[in-house]
Structure 1
Amino acid sequence: MDTTAAGDGEGTGRRLRELRRARGLKQQDLASDDVSVSYVSLIESGKRTPSAAVVALLAERLGCTPGYLLTGQDDTRTRELELKAAFADRALHNGAGGEALQAFSEVLASAPVLPRATVRRARLGQALALEQLGRLDAAVQALTLLYEDPQCVAGSAEWSRLATALCRCHQALGDQVLGVETGERALHRLDQLGLEATDDHIQLGAVLVGCYRTRGDLAKARLLADRLIRIADDRGGRTAQRETYWNAALVAQSQGRVDEALALAERARALLAESDHVRHHALLRGLYGTLLLCSDPADPERAHQLLGQSHTQLADVGTPLEQASAQTALATACLRLDRTAEARGHACGALALLRDEPSRESAEARAVLAHAQFAAGESRQAQETLRAAAQQLRQLPPARSSAAAWRRIADIWHQYGYVAESTAAYQQALNDAGLPGLLTPTPWTGTPGPA
């Protein structure tokens, strides 16, 4: 008589069915000379308890241990997968989004043998890796499923992290309305719960500051940034303080308060000094270098050095958009130093990294390229490049960020003597900034007024 394996037959059958489906297998894929398809079906329905030999055979084909099929526990495999998840977390932290995505996906392939908390951790990591790789639509879809899951408790660290990531992704996709709505609803919910602010909550607010700034609502951005700085300095950790000062520096830059922006960025860099987060170091170097180009007096040599370091680091750990922005900023520094050929190379490198869809970043890279082409005496090519940049901007909704790009285009036209083109671009910049011109007046046909 065949000796049966110890364990719950019905539970064994259920785990067998769940794991087979998770692996994308059919019952016939588990069948062999010793185990028929019908026998597999009977096991899965709980009508047969398999022998130890059959359990071992099925476990081998499913890539699990016999112990998991029998009891639902597989401590060795669970430990291996949790170590892989920890490796994926580290890869994500270091900016290796591709490695992180692969490792998290491998963990999720074995979801049925894992504790629920580990599965959710891997799903969140997978979504953040997609964001880091610039696959924003897929990231938003994955983040939304987790955020709207009833198991996600409002106010928890996971909930705050999801809200922050969603707000950040919507901003990166150019949907400032949804980004702001997501951030404001989350902060309002936290206020309702009456919870003491944590680092996660402060970072959520910092991302919302960025959304306000990108939308052009600089007054709101500054008010929230000032509030967050007070909270972060009072009871926030170094990470929360850094994120707050970083975004406050960007707001100050947008408002033309360059000296204040430099001081805030320096504070953020000091808070980052002990961190090993290469990507954040690179981004902050880039911000500081950009501010040095705008300062009075400007320091293009130091800016070029910092922007070059930022570009080199982001080539390994940055998203395509971050890499492109770094190249555009570096090209601008090269122009200030009369390194025309180098500027053109970096501007072309930025355009190669950007998608074909219209974007402010692509328009700005084209504007810098056109400036380099004018400086090199390539007038015809420069005009074509500037018109291509303008064409892209016309396809974007009016915003302060697009107004700044129009202003750059207008300045370049003006510098090289194209009066009509510069006037039109300046007008468009005013329109996008929310300052449209007066309606064309109706020609006067009556008698003149008194002298």
Structure 2
Amino acid sequence: MADDRHDDRLRIGRRIQELRAERGLTQRALAEPAYTAAYVSTLESGKVRPSDTALRYLAERLGVSADQLATGRPAHFATDLRLRLADARQTLCTGESADAAAHFTELAAEAGRYELADEQAAALLGLGDCALEIGELDEAIGHFRAAEDLLRDAPLPRRVPALRGRAVAHLLAGDVRYSCYLLESTIDRLNAGGLPDPQALLLLYSAVIAPYLDLGAHRRAVQAAELALALAAQVDDPIAVARLHRSVARTMLADGRAAEADASLARAQELYQQLRIRTELAHCHWMRGYLRAQDGDLPAAERELRTARAMLTDRHAALYTQQIDVELADVLRRSGRGDEAAALLSDLLGSLHPKRGAVHAGAAHRLLGRIAEERGAVADAEEHYRTALELLQHAGATADLADLCRLLGDLLRRTGRAEEALDVYRSGLGHRATPGTTTLGPAPAAPPLGSNASI
């Protein structure tokens, strides 16, 4: 702490000396009539720090703002930086993630140079989102963690966007349980604080829906969706509200409420179109394709998924595109185009693995197992089913494990391996034993909603 104060005095003293020399002033000319040349000399040597009154006086004499003299930041620098951050964010929404990343990198360096922690954290958040979009998950986690570190002394709500980003990256990397733990524990800490922040809670409840569904915790997913909807009226960030509606659509679909899911998707899509956020709009088409597939409208599902894929391919969002391809392969298989589906899935297996899209990698192997079984290739089918089991167990994604155990058990039973089949069936029943839980302990407490909110 003492070293920081000493360095601060030296920096201010150096700025006073440099600005005085640039203006051709002696120490006496700068100091009088309010101060002495000796006082200016002690300031320039870094022995003392000027008082606020002296700082304003000297800044006026030197033709700069007091803030610029104290920090070295040009006048209006922070405001200009925030405007440029908004421009970079818009570039990410509507343009190329590589261009946005270049802007965020430059802005993070500038903010760091002038010790603007909030603005530097915002730039790091932008870099994390850019990395998420192109599937560089370790890089994304690093940026989000760096933003958290910068804001470690700030109130928890200001750290929530970085925490949420890190949880999403861990989810995409296949660490479903840790993602869920990170979000649930942050929700509990926010609510325990006594004055929960609606926007921060909305971000967290919207984000926790996906890991809940992957874990098979449908009741918790529905509760999180309902709490998020109740908070939405208190939030004025349209992007957060649009994300909420997209997450809620997935929950309603899992709960068998297809009409409500479609309505939420329509609302999200409308908001993303208004905001010109292309990636999120592509996600709406993706979810709508999934919804159409669940309804059995396979041609419509294929159209929506191909639309989403084209939009994300334009943005080089490789990981999301690969995940869509898994959904598309399922539609192709159900449409009687198994060869197309198998070719599509085989191309993906090198890119999806335990640390990058493990849940979708498991789904890809499950589909390849079904295709192999339909072709009579029993050994290949078993190999794919067992690989899928390993991937989903490693990720903690229990939602699909019971059905996968049924498929493998049926295959084993049909080939005369009854004892092995029974073991697999028992394992599948174990995954169904505690529906609606994450095995992480009690669900997070609900926030104290206002009188106008309803669940």
| TM superposition score normalised by structure 2 | 0.68
Letter in 2 for 1:243: R
How has the CA–CA distance of structure 1 residues 13 and 307 changed in structure 2, closer, same or farther, with 3 Å as cutoff?
same
Q: Deviations over 1:15-38 (max 9, x none)?
A: 8xxxxxxxxxxxxxxxxxxxxxxx
Q: How far off its partner does 1:143 sit? A: 2.5
Q: 1:382 to 1:220 in 2, by over 3 A?
A: closer
- Higher RCO (CA-CA < 8 Å; seq separation 6+): 2
Consecutive unaligned residues of structure 1, counting only runs of 5 or more, are 1-7, 16-44, 48-67, 437-451
Provide the residue aligned with 1:136 in structure 2: 137
Unaligned runs of 5+ in 2: 1-7, 16-44, 48-67, 436-455
One-letter code aligned to 2:147: L
TM-aligned CA deviation for residue 335 of structure 1? 1.4
Amino acid of the residue matched to residue 215 of structure 1?
L
Q: Percent identity?
A: 22
Aligned equivalents of 2:259 and 2:431: distance in 1?
26
Shift of 1:328: 0.7
Q: 2:313 aligns with which of 290, 312, 315?
A: 315
Cα distance, 1:285 vs. partner?
A: 1.1
Distance apart, 1:126 and its partner CA: 2.3
* Residue 334 of structure 1: aligned partner: 332
Aligned counterpart, 1:368 = 367
TM-superposed CA distance for 1:98, in Å, is: 3.3
1-structure distance, mates of 2:242, 2:71: 47
Q: Distance in 1 between matches of 2:81 and 2:272?
A: 31
User: Shift of residue 293 of structure 1?
Assistant: 1.4
Q: 1:182 to 1:395 in 2, by over 3 A?
A: closer
Shift of 1:332: 1.0
Kindly indicate whether the alpha-carbon contact (under 8 Å) linking 1:364 and 1:405 is maintained by their aligned counterparts in 2.
Answer: no
Shift in Å, 1:288: 1.4
Which amino acid is the alignment partner of residue 341 of structure 1? D
The DSSP-based 3-state class of the residue aligned with 1:321 is helix
3-state SS of 2:388 partner: helix
C-alpha separation between the residues in 1 aligned to 2:404 and 2:274? 36
Match of 1:217 in 2: 217
Aligned CA RMSD, in angstroms, stands at: 4.1
- Equivalent pair of 2:361/2:388 in contact (CA under 8 Å): yes
Does the Cα contact within 8 Å between 1:252 and 1:260 map onto a contact in 2?
yes
Task: Compare 276-285 and 170-179 and name the one that shifted more.
Answer: 170-179
Shift in alpha-carbon separation, 1:376–1:259, aligned structure 2, 3 A: farther
Distance in 1 separating the partners of 2:69 and 2:234:
52
- 1:409: Cα distance to partner? 5.7
- Taking the aligned partners of 2:292 and 2:361, their CA distance within structure 1 comes to 23
Q: 3-state SS of the aligned residue for 1:162?
A: helix
Residues 1:134 and 1:95: Cα distance change in structure 2 (over 3 Å): farther
Aligned to 1:105: 105
Alignment match, 2:56: none
Map of 2:398 onto structure 1:
399
Distance 1:136 1:235, change over 3 A: closer
Shift in alpha-carbon separation, 1:99–1:431, aligned structure 2, 3 A: farther
Equivalent AA in structure 1 for residue 120 of structure 2:
V
Count of residue pairs brought into register by the alignment = 376
Instruction: Tell me, in whole angstroms, the C-alpha distance in 2 between the residues paired with 1:148 and 1:321.
Output: 27
Alignment partner, residue 344 of structure 1: 342
SS at match of 2:353: coil
Query: Would you say the 8 A contact 1:323–1:353 is kept in 2?
Result: no
Deviation of the 1:325 alpha carbon:
1.5
Q: Equivalent residue for 1:21?
A: none
Q: Which amino acid aligns with 2:135?
A: G
Residue in structure 1 matched with residue 249 of structure 2 by the alignment: 249
Shift in Å at residue 108 of structure 1?
3.3
Q: Partners of 2:342 and 2:433 in 1: how far apart?
A: 32
TM-score, length of structure 1 as denominator length: 0.68
- Of residues 219-228 and 250-259 in structure 1, the stretch that sits farther from structure 2 once superposed is 250-259
Q: Quick one: which amino acid aligns to residue 353 of structure 1?
A: S
